Amino acid sequence: MRRLKFTTLAFAALVLAGCGGGSTGNSGPNNINGNWFASLDTNSTTLYAFSVTLTQGAGTTVAITDFSFPQPGPCFLSDFTSAYPVAGTFTQTGISNGVLNGNFSMSITTPEPGGPTLTLQGTVNGVTMTGTWTGTGTNCSGSGSFLMSQPLP
């Protein structure tokens, strides 16, 4: 009888040890790679809109390519190519229920001394980024909120 109780308890412990240890799968990307579309608003009015391709590099580095302003604002040209230096960082804080989370920053600077700079600071939650933006420079100051999103596959 004692041996039966021990065997039953040992079996129950093995079954319970196997519960909860597996992966539930990943319903989203584990990085921020891909095409993103942004809308930068102030007082419920879109001031800037752009598209960009992001590629997560080593550490927090983000390569930013294919940047364009299809809807230019007062300080940046619509024919933006590689004329403006663009830099970005991403710090992953985790993956929760298959959704990537982290902190994102990006800055766009004109090459002219004292020229306009556009800075974004926000958070990533899966295929959406939200946060605040700030514009600085002569006749180009402003701030507001932004939304960046990836098209669904």
Per the prediction, the chain carries an average pLDDT of: 75
Residue 25 included in any domain: no
Residue 26 included in any domain: no
Report the pLDDT averaged over residues 102-117. Answer: 82
Residue 21 included in any domain: no
Residue 18 included in any domain: no
Global pTM exceeds 0.95: no
pLDDT at 133 over 70: yes
pLDDT at 39 over 80: yes
Residue by residue, DSSP assigns 35-80 as EEEEEEEETTEEEEEEEEEEEE-STTEEEEEEEEEEE--SSS-TT-
- Coil, helix or strand at residue 19: coil
Residue 61 included in any domain: yes
Q: Report the CATH number at residue 110.
A: 2.40.128.120
Beta pairing partners, 90: 104
pLDDT at 12 over 60: no
Residue with tokens 């196997």: 18
Residue 35: what pLDDT? 94
Residue by residue, DSSP assigns 83-147 as SS-EEEEEEEEEEETTEEEEEEEEEEE-SSTT--EEEEEEEEETTEEEEEEEEESTT--EEEEEE
Q: Which residues span the domain enclosing 113?
A: 31-149
Residue 124 included in any domain: yes
Q: How many domains does the structure of the chain reveal?
A: 1
Residue 105's pLDDT band (cuts 50, 70, 90) = very high
Residue 2 included in any domain: no
Q: How is residue 39 written in tokens? A: 């809308």
The percentage of residues in the chain with a pLDDT greater than 90, rounded to a whole number, is 24
Residue 6 included in any domain: no
